[in-house]
Amino acid sequence: MLSFFKLSRKKKEKLEITISKYVKSINDVIDSGFIEIKEFINENNNLDMSPGIKDDDIRWFRIIIILGNVSELKNYFEESQVSKMKDMIIEDSLSYFNRNSSITIDHFIDYDSFFNQLISIHDSSAKAMAYAIFEKYEINKCQVDLFRRKNEPNPVFIHELKNLLSHFLWNWSDYLKKFKVSI
């Protein structure tokens, strides 16, 4: 009986409002957190040299984080809902890019295929995001010779990066305890 009343206390929210909050929150975290990730990578003792990631390299980081978050949707929603939500998220996210929107959409589509391959290989979105960053920023070139020749990330580095990136994932479990999203 109590669980019935608990469910009825959830606030109903339209999908458009949820997506708007979601996109804004994720991009706020990206804007404030990229500096920490950039410094973590550039100053990492597990690398032989700094990759020299700059502030304006946030664009690809933003795409990776958004795609990582989109990949989490399948854990909470049905496939048809995920498809609709993904389109809305990408559309809402375009305003955070300082480029032609059709070029940005093309980058999302291209990188989505690559990211889906990473998701199928790795056990979590955070780990896939870490590997995507490793590839996109060509961090292999900055590793010690052993890992560079293997073309594999230093396991300590990738584990630490994965842990940091997990903070960039939207917490759907908590959100759905408070809100019922009408799709």
DSSP 90-153: HHHHGGGSSS-HHHHHHHHHHHHHHHHHHHHHSSSHHHHHHHHHHHHTTGGGGS-HHHHHHT--
How many whole angstroms separate alpha carbon 128 and alpha carbon 76? 19
Q: pLDDT at position 3, please?
A: 54
- List the beta bridge partners of residue 182: 14
Closest alpha carbon to 129 in 107, 110, 108, 114 = 114
Closest alpha carbon to 125 in 70, 53, 49 = 70
Q: pLDDT at position 162, please?
A: 98
Per run of 10 residues, the mean pLDDT along the chain (length 183 residues) is 58 95 98 98 97 95 96 95 95 85 81 91 95 97 96 97 98 94 85
pTM: 0.91
Q: Would you state the structure tokens that stand for residue 174, as one six-digit string?
A: 């908590």
The answer to whether 170 and 20 have CB atoms below 8 angstroms apart is no
Q: pLDDT at position 1, please?
A: 47
Q: pLDDT at position 97, please?
A: 86
Q: pLDDT at position 108, please?
A: 86
How many whole angstroms separate alpha carbon 174 and alpha carbon 183? 18
State which H helix or E strand residue 180 sits in.
Answer: strand 179-182
- List the beta bridge partners of residue 14: 182
Closest alpha carbon to 94 in 83, 82, 106, 84 = 106
